[in-house]
Amino acid sequence: MANLSGFNASASANPNPNKSFEVVQPPTDSVSSLSFCPKGNYLVATSWDNQVRCWEILRTGSSMPKASISHDQPVLCSTWKEDGATVFSGGCDKQVKMWPLMSGGQPTTVAMHDAPVKEIAWIPEMNLLATGSWDKTLRYWDTRQPAPVHTQQLPDRCYALTVRYPLMVVGTADRNLIVFNLQNPQTEFKRISSPLKYQTRCVAAFPDQQGFLVHHTFATAGSDGAFNFWDKDSKQRLKAMSRCSQPIPCSAFNNDGSIFAYAVCYDWSKGAENHNPAAAKTYIFLHTPQESEVKGKPRLGTTGRK
């Protein structure tokens, strides 16, 4: 889910060239994060319009708005608790809200930073919330307590965060990647410089904790308006999808991989002066991956070969 620079303005004017299902009542400004419920097909989107919205996604591809809450400023990140009932969201108001969405409860503030909160992750194995901020800290929170249980200094502003216990990887400004072993969370396990030429905007851990990216099949999407499916092990692209008319700043698979959600909207890569929400609609699309798009070809083994 890399964020690539240099969106090609010559891309097709069609915002939906892949004939995906369009989510109804999308945000009125750019989408900053998408996250699916781990227990069902509920999709949460955070947006620069200060809103956190949830839709129920039906197997037919249609969507039904379920609920929404507001922050005081743009919302940058979201994640679900493993019970599939609670959502966390954070953003430019420097706080993280815990929203008991499925029970219809009201959100409460459970974490605070000294600058915008860019990334959050719930760690069920530790019963803690990890929050990464542009104040150059990573903080761990017991949501029942007002103060963080630990504050970890980072070399620069947090831009990306992924957790697959006990592996956690944090991407910061100046192309730093900091690896933590959460069995010893107060000490950096390793720090490396990103091999990518541009600023790290997204990082995702392997489910087997042996590296970081995502799944045997994973998706990348970016400012060029395209998304692609890849085979992690063979390092081959499985399917290149048609390019959309605007960047794709974020995307997410549902819990069983049967639905791929992606936002098509302005991604701020060209600054505020090129942002005009009245002129360009924000879209969220739902794509149902076909087997040919996400399943790699079997590789020949060496057993029995002459």
pLDDT of residue 226: 61
Least confident of 43-47, 138-142, 249-253, 287-291: 287-291
Q: What is the pLDDT of residue 236?
A: 62
Domains belonging to the chain, first-starting first, are 21-293 (2.130.10.10)
Could you count the other beta carbons within 10 Å of the beta carbon of residue 174? Answer: 12
The rounded distance, in Å, linking the Cα atoms of 151 and 170 is 14
Q: Which pLDDT score is estimated for 287? A: 87
13-55 pLDDT, tens digit per residue, is 678 878 889 999 999 999 999 999 999 999 999 999 999 999 9
pLDDT of residue 140 exceeding 70: yes
> Which range is least confidently modeled, 69-78, 107-116, 297-306?
297-306
Report whether pLDDT(212) > 60.
no
Least confident of 41-50, 151-160, 226-235: 226-235
Report residue 1's pLDDT band, with 50, 70 and 90 as the boundaries: very low
Reply yes or no on whether the pLDDT at 218 is more than 50.
yes
- Calculate mean pLDDT across residues 261-270: 82
What is the spatial distance between Cα 186 and Cα 179, in angstroms, rounded to a whole number? 11
Alpha carbons 241 and 172: distance in angstroms, whole number: 30
CA-to-CA distance for 240 and 112, rounded, in angstroms? 40
Percent of the chain at pLDDT > 90 equals: 53
**Digit-coded pLDDT (tens) for 4-16:** 333 333 344 678 8
Please provide residue 139's backbone torsions phi and psi, each rounded to the nearest 5 degrees: -125, 145
Q: Which of 281, 148, 132, 151 is nearest to 200 (CA)?
A: 132
Q: Find the helix or strand (DSSP H, E) in which 291 lies.
A: helix 291-294
